[in-house]
Amino acid sequence: MDALVYGELVAWDPVKKQRAWQVRHDKPSNGGILSTAGDLVFQGTWDGTFAAYDANNGTPLWQYQSDSAILAGPISYELDGEQYIAVAQGSGGTVMLTVGDELKRNKVNQNKLLVFKRGEFNQTRSNALTQTAQDSTLATILALGHKAETNPEIIKKGQTLYGQNCASCHGISAKSNHIIPDLRYMSEQTHIDFSGIVLGGAYAHKGMIGYFETLSLEDSEAIHAFLDDKQQRLPEMLEMSFLQKIEYWFVYWTARLGEKYPDLLNATRDLMM
Q: Residue 246 is inside which H or E element, if any?
A: helix 242-260
Q: Which of residues 219-258 bind ligand HEC (CB under 6 A)?
A: 223
The H or E element that residue 48 is part of is none
Q: Give the range of 34-42, 91-99, 140-148, 183-191 binding ligand HEC by CB under 6 A.
A: 183-191
Q: Which stretch binds ligand HEC (CB under 6 A): 45-53, 84-92, 204-212, 257-265?
A: 204-212
Q: What is the sign, positive or negative, of the torsion defined by CA atoms of 12, 13, 19, 24?
A: negative
Q: Is 125 in the site for ligand HEC (CB under 6 A)?
A: no
Instruction: Assess 194 for contact with ligand HEC (CB under 6 A).
Output: yes
Measured CA to CA, the distance from residue 196 to residue 21 in angstroms comes to 50
Tell which one of 197, 225, 234, 255 touches ligand HEC (CB under 6 A). 197
Among 72, 87, 186, 225, binds ligand HEC (CB under 6 A): 186
Q: Which of 207, 243, 263, 273 binds ligand HEC (CB under 6 A)?
A: 207
Nearest Cα residue to 54 out of 45, 66, 43: 43
Phi, psi of 104, rounded to the nearest 5 degrees:
-65, -40
Q: Is the four-CA dihedral 193, 198, 203, 208 of positive or negative sign?
A: positive
Q: Is 166 in the site for ligand HEC (CB under 6 A)?
A: yes
Nearer to ligand HEC, 206 or 260 (CB): 206
Interface with ligand HEC, residue 69, by CB under 6 A? no
Show the CA angle centred on residue 89, arms to residues 231 and 136, nearest 5°. Answer: 80
Q: Under 8 Å CB-to-CB from 242, ≥6 apart: which residues?
A: none
Among 96, 211, 230, 235, binds ligand HEC (CB under 6 A): 211
Interacting residues with ligand HEC (CB under 6 A): 165-166, 168-170, 180-181, 183, 186, 190, 194, 197-198, 203, 206-208, 211, 223
